[in-house]
Amino acid sequence: MPDEHNCIEHQTVINDVEYTLQSRTVELDNGERHQEYRVLLNGAEIKSWTRGDILPYFNLKQR
């Protein structure tokens, strides 16, 4: 399973606070894939890896 070094990062500002959004694709042993995201504030994790694709909510795209 990928770790935080195999993800895409985007910065976003909400209420004058800058957050880092990390997004990754996870591939399971059975070949199934899904998106996960987490949120960092000043490098500290404030929301752990959660299944789902958060990028569309911020009008961001996978690179």
The C-alpha atoms of residue 2 and residue 27 are separated, in whole angstroms, by 8
Q: Using 50, 70 and 90 to split pLDDT, how confident is the model at 5?
A: low
**Segment 6-63, tens digit of pLDDT:** 788 989 898 999 999 999 999 989 999 999 999 999 999 999 999 998 777 767 665 5
Sequence ranges of the domains in the chain: 4-58
Q: Is the pTM of this model over 0.85?
A: no
Q: Strand pairing partners for 12?
A: 19
pLDDT score recorded for residue 61? 64
d(CA 24, CA 16): 26
